[in-house]
């Protein structure tokens, strides 16, 4: 099946951004969420074969990755996230859960830190650095965490570039 493509949009997670700008919930399979400028909320991957790449995700809530607990129903293609810019609204947040999904090469911004957690981690919470140290080739290889938030004007410039404004 070809992926459904959600790309080159400006999306705002309103009503508090509880589920964010794109909510891939029950029945969502084979979505490519890419090159979007998304403000507020989180990103929800629940069923599987969902890929998120090339996005600017600004001012995400602390539960940003809280709904990534499952690898998904498509055993041949786990949920995947790479090459995104993620700016957390708070000092800390959950980047993702530690199921069998794939992730790499993203740039994260949070003044204190981000965590990896979940049942697949034996209910432990790891910092990004601890998670990466467990398996440097497989656990968010190339993903970085910057403790200085970018200026709002820089975030807007990244977003404008993605959506062609």
Per-residue pLDDT of the chain (165 residues; tens, 9 = 90+): 677 899 999 988 876 556 677 877 777 778 899 999 999 877 777 667 788 899 999 998 877 766 555 555 566 677 788 999 999 887 777 777 776 566 789 999 998 878 876 656 777 888 888 888 988 888 889 999 999 999 999 999 999 998 887
What is the domain range of residue 56? Answer: 4-163
Question: Within 10 A of 33 (CB to CB), how many other CB atoms are there?
Answer: 27
Domain count, the chain: 1
Q: What Cα–Cα distance (Å) separates residue 121 from each residue in 24, 100, 113?
A: 23, 10, 18
Q: What is the pLDDT of residue 44?
A: 73
Q: What is the pLDDT of residue 72?
A: 56
Q: Would you say 64 and 94 are in contact if contact means Cβ atoms under 8 Å apart?
A: yes
Separation of alpha carbons 94 and 128, rounded Å: 10
Q: Would you say 114 and 76 are in contact if contact means Cβ atoms under 8 Å apart?
A: no
Q: What is the pLDDT of residue 55?
A: 94
Tokens standing for 111? 């003044």
Q: What is the pLDDT of residue 68?
A: 57
Spell out a b/e string for 102-113, using b for 16 or more CB atoms within 10 Å of the CB, else e: bbbebbbbbeeb
Q: What is the pLDDT of residue 14?
A: 72
């Amino acid at each position: 099946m070809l992926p459904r493509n959600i790309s080159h949009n400006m999306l705002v997670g309103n009503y508090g951004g509880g589920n964010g700008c794109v909510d891939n919930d029950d029945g969502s399979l084979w979505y490519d969420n890419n090159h979007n400028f998304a403000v507020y909320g989180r990103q929800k991957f629940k069923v599987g074969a969902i890929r998120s790449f090339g996005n600017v995700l600004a001012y995400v809530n602390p539960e940003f990755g809280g709904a990534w607990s499952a690898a998904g129903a498509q055993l041949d293609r786990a949920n995947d996230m790479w090459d995104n810019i993620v700016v957390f609204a708070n000092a800390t947040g959950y980047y993702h859960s530690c199921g069998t999904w794939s992730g790499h090469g993203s740039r994260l911004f949070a003044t204190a830190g981000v965590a990896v957690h979940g049942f697949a981690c034996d209910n432990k919470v790891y910092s990004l650095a601890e998670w990466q140290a467990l398996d440097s080739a497989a656990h968010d290889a190339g993903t970085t965490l910057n403790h200085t938030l970018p200026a709002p004007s820089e975030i807007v410039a990244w977003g404008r570039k993605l959506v062609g404004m």
